[in-house]
Amino acid sequence: MRGGPGQLLAGRYRLTDRPEPFRAHAVDERTGESVLLRALELPALLTAGQDPEDAVPAQADRLVRRVAAVGSAAPAAHPRLLRGVGAFVEGDLLWTAEERPAGLTAAGLLGGGPVPPYRAAELAADLAGALRALHGAGLTHGNLTAESVLVCEDGAAMLGGLLAGVAQEALAEELGGPGGRRRYDVRATLVGPVAERWPLDGGPAGDCWALGVLLHRLVTGRSPYPEAGVPELVTAVRDGRREHSAACGPLGPLVERLLQPDPVLRPTAETVWRELAELLAGAPEPVDEERAAGAVTLKPEAPLVVRPRRGNRGGQGGRGGGKAGHSGNAVAGDGTGNGPGGGGKPPRIPPALWGPLLVGGVFVLLALGIAAVVLFAG
C-alpha cells in the first residue's frame, strides 16, 4: 500500500511509520494504544471495482463481520493473548487491527539463531496458556507461527494473529468454496509454505500440532518438514516425512507427541502447559552467569515469570526482549563465606607450600645440631 506517517485509515488508525507491504504500525486514536495492521488484497469480484467511497459490497462485508465475530468471542484480557481490535475494508484491502506492545516476533528472535531448549520451553508454556484460554472459549487459533508470536520486553510470549488468520481462511472460503481444489489453491497463495499452517486436521488438536512444529523450529532453527513449496510440504505432512524430534533435546519427547498424525494421541494445550511447567521445575543449573541471575516461577494465567535475584549485578537476568535464556537457581555458598562468590579471607600460607617448608625446617634443625656438637667437642 502507499502512504506514510500521519495517514488515517478507517477514520481511526493513524500510521506511525511508512507501511510495509500488507502491514503497518499505527496508533488507535480512540484508545491511544499502538496497533499492528495487517492487510489482505481483495479481488475485483469482492470490491466489484467500486470507488472506496461507495458502500462495501456484500461479500466484503461478510468477511468483516466474520472476523469481528471471532474477535468478540476471544477472551477479552488474557495476559498471553494479543487483543484483536477489529477489521475493516478500505479500498481493495481487508485490514485487521491488533494491539501491539513493544517486543520482537519469534521470527525476529530466530534471526539470531536457535533458541536454547529451556528458553523455548518458557515461550511454549506461555503459548500453551494462550491456546488453553482460546480452546476453553470454543475457538481455534489456526495461525500459530513464528510471525504471530510476540516476545515482549519482559521476555513473556504473547500469541497474536488470530484475526489475520480468520481473515485468510474466510477469504479462501469466499473465493474457493468450502473445500476442494480451488480453495486449496487460494489458501496456498494466501498462506504459503509455512509448516505450522498445514496440519492434517483443524480444531484444538491442529493448534497443538502447530505448537509442536513451532517448538521444533525454535530449538533447531528450522521446520521439521520441507518448506520449498506448498505441494511438497503438504505431501510430507500427509506422509509423516519429517526430521525426528530427538534434535529438540529435552523437549524431544513432547514435540514427538505433539506431531503425532492421530489427533487423539496429541496432548491438549492444558497438558502441554503442565508438562512444560514440570520440565522447567527440574531444569539443570544454567552455565551462563548472566542467565543465573533470575528464577522461573509459575503463575496460573501467566505461566512463566523471571524474578531478579537480590544483589544481582546490573539486573541482567530477566527475560526482557527474549534475550535472557532459561534461568535456574544460583549456586549457594556453605554459609561460612567461603562458597562461590563468598567474602571469607584466603589462608595466609597456601597449602601447596607446606611440604617444602617442613623439609626445609628439618634440614635447618640438623645443621644446628651438628654445629652444637662441633662447638662442645671443641
And the C-alpha cell for 20? 510495509
And the C-alpha cell for 11? 477514520
The per-residue pLDDT for 58 is 81
* CATH classification for the domain delimited by 8-302, as one of 1.10.10.10, 1.25.50.10, 1.10.510.10, 3.40.50.720: 1.10.510.10
Domain boundaries, the chain: 8-302
Q: Is the pLDDT of residue 336 over 50?
A: no
Contact assessment for residue 93 and residue 164, using Cβ atoms and an 8 Å cutoff: no
And the C-alpha cell for 32? 491511544
- Average pLDDT of 304-319? 36
Query: Residue 71: CB partners within 8 Å, gap ≥ 6?
Result: 84, 85, 86, 87, 162, 163
- Average pLDDT of 109-113? 96
Confidence of residue 355 (pLDDT cuts 50, 70, 90): low
- Average pLDDT of 353-369? 64
Residue with cell 489427533: 263
The per-residue pLDDT for 287 is 44
Ordered strands of the 149-152 beta sheet? 103-105, 149-152, 157-159
Q: Which has the minimum average pLDDT: 70-74, 177-181, 368-372? A: 368-372
286-302 per-position pLDDT tens digit: 644 344 333 333 444 44
What does pLDDT average to over the chain? Answer: 81
| Enclosing H/E stretch for 9 | strand 8-9
21-56 per-position pLDDT tens digit: 889 999 999 999 999 999 999 987 676 555 555 555
Contact assessment for residue 230 and residue 176, using Cβ atoms and an 8 Å cutoff: no
The per-residue pLDDT for 315 is 33
- Average pLDDT of 227-255? 97
Query: What crossing angle do the helices spanning 58-73 and 162-176 adopt, rounded to 10°?
Result: 150
Confidence of residue 20 (pLDDT cuts 50, 70, 90): confident
At 103, give phi and psi (nearest 5°): 165, -170
Q: Render 230-250 in DSSP notation, one character per residue.
A: HHHHHHHHHHT----GGGGGG
201-214 per-position pLDDT tens digit: 999 999 999 999 99
